[in-house]
């Protein structure tokens, strides 16, 4: 999930396409389509929160993706509690496993691909959800939940 | 996994950071560190293959990440069969669930972030591996395998 806030109006959207880009500073790339209502707020404020939803929130995640902030207060409609962030105006999602407060660092690929480079400037985790299962979007409403964990001796971070 | 080929030398590396960027044309972003032996081949030839490994290949995937193509023929050492691609010089991985032949389309973020924009110009799947489990890298050698599948009524692709 990706939250934004502009002119006192909070919004939340469902985000499929994102990846880590760097450890230090912690950079994340994400694609927010110009057609999404959140695009303008993200682009103009340069701020957002990335929230990692647990499996229990899967239906809400899809419902959030099926409507638009242009005519819906999604926090109210879906009973999604929010909390103030520390470094950005966009709100944290209380039910999330983790919340990353982010600032836009690079817009060079926005015009051509709607790709934003974000830096996580503050990070929250909910220790009570440390073992919560995450969900992976495969497209067309199909998700895969976490299965067995595998620990291998790796030099990779 | 990401394969390259330069001056008749094939190589394969383990790639954690990648994401979809666009459906049409099919664009994929990936981060290949300048410190990786594959960086030079990818950057200079502008070609690679992205191969999606099944769970059965997890140990090999990590072993590939733990050594370098500068002094190792990983295909030989790990008994990894390859096949010729159709549109690029980089080889396909026979044991992969899917192979995507890719060409580099945008290098604007390479200098600052080692981020390449790729276009998949040809794609292969192995129907025999249609139900194979994939693995998701969580960092430090920890992977999560696919669990239960969830199908929700989504307007999102």
Q: Given pLDDT bands bounded at 50, 70 and 90, which one contains residue A6?
A: very high
Report the alpha-carbon distance of residue B40 to residue B89 in Å, rounded.
15
CB-CB neighbors (< 8 A) of A16 in chain B:
20, 156
- What's the pLDDT at A83? 98
Instruction: Kindly report the average pLDDT of chain A as a whole number.
Output: 96
Which of A65, A136, A137 lies nearest to residue B155, judging by beta carbons? A65
Contact status, residue B92 vs residue B99, Cβ threshold 8 Å: yes
Average pLDDT for A77-105: 98
Does residue A27 sit at the B interface (CB-CB below 8 Å)?
Answer: yes
Q: Does the beta-carbon distance from B106 to A112 stay under 8 Å?
A: yes
pLDDT score recorded for residue A157: 84
Shortest CA distance from B114: residue in chain A: A21
Q: How confident is the model at residue B91 (pLDDT cuts 50, 70, 90)?
A: very high
Which positions 90-149 of B are in contact with A (Cβ < 8 Å)? 106, 108-109, 112-113, 115, 117, 133-137, 139-149
The stretch A1-6 carries a mean pLDDT of 98
pLDDT at B155 over 90: no
pTM: 0.95
Please say whether the dihedral angle defined by the alpha carbons of residues A38, A134, A123 and A94, taken in this order, is positive or negative.
positive
Write the secondary structure of chain A as one string of H (helix), E (strand) and C (coil): CEEEEECCEEEEECCCCEEEEECCCCEEEEECCCCCCHHHHHHHHCEEEEEECCHHHHHHHHHHHCCCCCCCCHHHHCCCCEECCCCCCCCEECCCCEEEEEEEEECCCHHHHCEEEEEEEEEEECHHHCCCCCEEEEECCEEEEEEEEEECCCCCC
Would you call B109 and A112 a contact, using CB atoms and an 8 Å cutoff?
A: no
Indicate the average pLDDT of chain B: 96
With cut-offs at 50, 70 and 90, classify the pLDDT of residue A5. Answer: very high
CB atoms within 10 A of CB A40: 14
A156 has a pLDDT exceeding 90 = no
Contacting residues of B for A141, CB less than 8 Å apart: 151-154, 156
Work out the pLDDT band at B127, boundaries 50, 70, 90. very high
Instruction: Note the pLDDT tens digit of each residue in B64-89.
Output: 999 999 999 999 999 999 999 999 99
pLDDT tens figures, B2-12:
999 999 999 99
């Amino acid at each position: 999930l990706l939250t934004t806030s502009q002119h006192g109006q909070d919004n939340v959207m469902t985000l499929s396409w994102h990846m880590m880009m760097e450890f230090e500073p912690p950079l994340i790339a994400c694609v927010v389509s110009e057609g999404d209502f959140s695009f303008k707020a993200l682009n103009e404020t340069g701020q957002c929160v990335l929230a990692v939803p647990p499996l229990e929130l899967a239906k809400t995640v899809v419902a959030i993706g099926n409507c638009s902030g242009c005519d819906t207060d999604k926090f109210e409609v879906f009973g999604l509690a929010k909390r103030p962030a520390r470094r950005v105006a966009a709100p944290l999602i209380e039910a999330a496993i983790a919340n990353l407060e982010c600032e836009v660092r690079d817009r060079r690929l926005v015009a051509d691909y709607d790709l934003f480079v974000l830096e996580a400037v503050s990070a929250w985790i909910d220790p009570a959800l440390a073992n919560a299962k995450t969900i992976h979007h495969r497209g067309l409403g199909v998700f895969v939940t976490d299965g067995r964990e595998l620990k291998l001796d790796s030099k990779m971070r």
